[in-house]
Amino acid sequence: MKWKYRCTSRCLAAVLITIVVTFGAQAIAQSKSWPDAFPKKGADGVPESVDKLTIAVDSWGTNDLNPWALTSVSFLGDYYNLRLMMQDPNGDLAAAWATEVDQTEEGLTFKLNPKATFADGTPADAEAVKQNLEGFMGKYVEQGGYDAPLWNSAKANEFIDSVKVISPTEVFVKTKGPKPTFMWNLGGNGYHLYWYGNPKRLLQGPKAYFENAVGGGPYVIQKWDAGNRIVFERREDFWADYSHWHKPQAKTMEILTVKDPAARFALLKSRQADIVYNLPWALAKRLDRSEDGVRGVNPGKKNVWTQTYKANGMLTMTFGCPIQHREAAKPAGRKDQAGVEIPKWEVAEICKDHPTLDKRVRRALNLAIDKRALSAGPHFGFSTPIGSIFHAGSFGSRPEKVNNPSPYDLEEAKRLLKEAGYENGFTMEGHFGQFAGRPGIPEAADFIASSWEKLGVKMTWKEHDPSDFVRGFRAGVFSWVPVNLQTWGRQDHSGVQISWYHATSGYVGMYNDKIEDLYFDIISTFDPEAMKQKLALLEDEVLALEETFPLYGMSLVNAYTDRVLAHPTVEFSPHFKHYDLVLLKK
């Protein structure tokens, strides 16, 4: 089995691309209205160029500008660095730096756009791809002055065996066995992106790169105030001319981080910002929705208007005490199938004899949550109750699971607690973080606490800074507590998301030996249909443990002033913001 994507010469002339054979390149059923239904710059009165676009966001992720030293996701890289490929606004795999990829079980061959250059005039050629991949793997840590280990290194080293330059526009990446999710992990069409920078600058080390972070994207960085403001200046010589990626309309693009949602909305109402990312649902429900006409196009009512990202993330409830007791029972020195030693955890004091060790208690707590009422009430209909550990519409997800949340049955919940010996309830502490771009988590925590009061369960939630929350998971801190609300951004391929369900996961993945074996089997399964079957088996095993319960899929709202004519973007993803495609009036 192999798959190939090719962007023909017509694509290079800004004609929509064709997928020849895909490995679930996008299994999402989305509207194919783009680009025909959208206005175009320089036509029908739409200006070819405008001076400025201003966007207010709750966060852009990490403040790291250096793609080799990223500590987390940051969408800023979309605008000044490169991706091998990308999603177009229909969600289809599309050309970016590479115009074609041919993947087999041995590896991937990329053909690059011969026009590609970095902003300083350096050719963006196959050697630059090779140096970037080697940079991700940590090859230049010592000579470049980078701190080791790099955040990117683990996944890059897991996937890549070697990189060979075939010609200035062709490169072969040999993988460590079949790596069917390579493009979703490292290639550019997944949520956790790897951005590719200018090796000439990167090899000078992080300090020198920070002083002149010129990449190959449509903008260069004009001003940078970490955590607060970034101003991009348009590259007039930008080389790409695809329908989905070309020289932007706005000469400068200013992005502001404004954490307070009321302050973001005030900037929009006063027209100090053209776009607000992540508008609170309570405000959004009263505004005009572009989905009532053409999604992403100004409905023309001369008001503030919105569009909604669907299924952009999910929330699950996980119980940590059972997994820690199971881990503590494993023999010391046990290794997983990749040869990584699995630590023998000590059981936290709070987990010893904890009520949630009893499956009946966990089942009761889940049954006491009316997930449909949560979505319809505190979430104003902007979240969707789910019954799957996978995102709606992603490769490998099953509609019968996604659309079938666990039932609400308060009487059965009371019966189970009584049977388990907790008729009068108990007290418990839980943990969560409110992540940027994933609204509704504090409201969900309050709703859950109120629901459990009906069982006599007194719940105290501790809210953490989201960055500290993630670091805590990676360090195992939150594996030692009874319950967490965990969230992650949309994964368009469920073969990526299963990384949370094995022993060396940075999150509290619920697993046993069978799930662990399935994990390693799945990540080396190249046939798409066989992988779907194995993903279904893994999901069934995870849910059967009753240690993690899916709650809901999240949506997120963008809001726009009437100056914005259109914003084509991916309907089912939080990350592919495509701000470079925004069209405005003068």
pLDDT in tens, 506-539: 666 677 889 989 999 998 899 999 999 999 999 9
172, with CB counted inside 10 A (0-12, 13-18, 19+), is: middle
User: 214, 218, 216: which is closest to 246 by C-alpha?
Assistant: 218
Give the model's pLDDT for residue 336. Answer: 52
pLDDT at 457: 97
Q: Name which residue leads in pLDDT, 309 or 479.
A: 309
The candidate with the shortest Cα–Cα distance to 572, out of 499, 510, 496, 492, is 492
Domains of the chain listed by start with CATH number: 3-22+40-274+574-584 (3.40.190.10), 312-555 (3.10.105.10)
What value does the mean pLDDT take over residues 463-468? 82
Give the whole-number percent of the chain exceeding pLDDT 70.
Answer: 87
pLDDT digits (tens, 9 = 90+) for 419-446: 999 999 999 999 998 887 788 999 999 9
For residue 343, whether the previous peptide bond is cis, meaning omega lies within 30 degrees of 0, is no
| Model confidence at 30: pLDDT above 50 | no
The larger pLDDT score, comparing residue 462 to residue 513, is at 462
pLDDT at 7 over 70: no
**pLDDT for position 6:** 54
* pLDDT of amino acid 21: 32
CB 392 within 8 A of CB 553: yes
Q: Is the pLDDT reported for residue 17 higher than 50?
A: no
Do 22 and 187 contact (CB within 8 A), yes or no?
Answer: no
Instruction: Report the pLDDT value the prediction gives residue 335, as an integer from 0 to 100.
Output: 56
pLDDT at 14: 32
Does pLDDT of 26 surpass 80?
no
Q: Could you tell me which residues come within 8 angstroms of residue 374 by beta carbon, excluding any fewer than 6 positions away?
A: 383, 385, 444, 447, 551, 552
The yes-or-no verdict on residue 341 having pLDDT over 70 is no
Q: What pLDDT, on the 0 to 100 scale, is given for residue 149?
A: 59
pLDDT, one tens digit per residue, over 138-186 is 888 877 677 665 767 888 999 999 999 999 999 999 999 999 999 998 9
Task: Tell me: pLDDT of 343 over 60.
Answer: no
Q: Where are the alpha helices (DSSP H) in 302-427?
A: 320-328, 359-367, 371-376, 399-402, 410-419
> What pLDDT score does 507 carry?
64
- Quote the CA–CA distance of 149 and 145 in Å, as a whole number: 12
**pTM summary value:** 0.88
pLDDT category at 298 given cuts 50, 70, 90 is: very high
Indicate the pLDDT class of residue 9, thresholds 50, 70 and 90: very low
Residue 315 pLDDT > 50, yes or no? yes
Choose among 72, 65, 76: nearest CA to 469: 72
For the chain, the residue count is 586
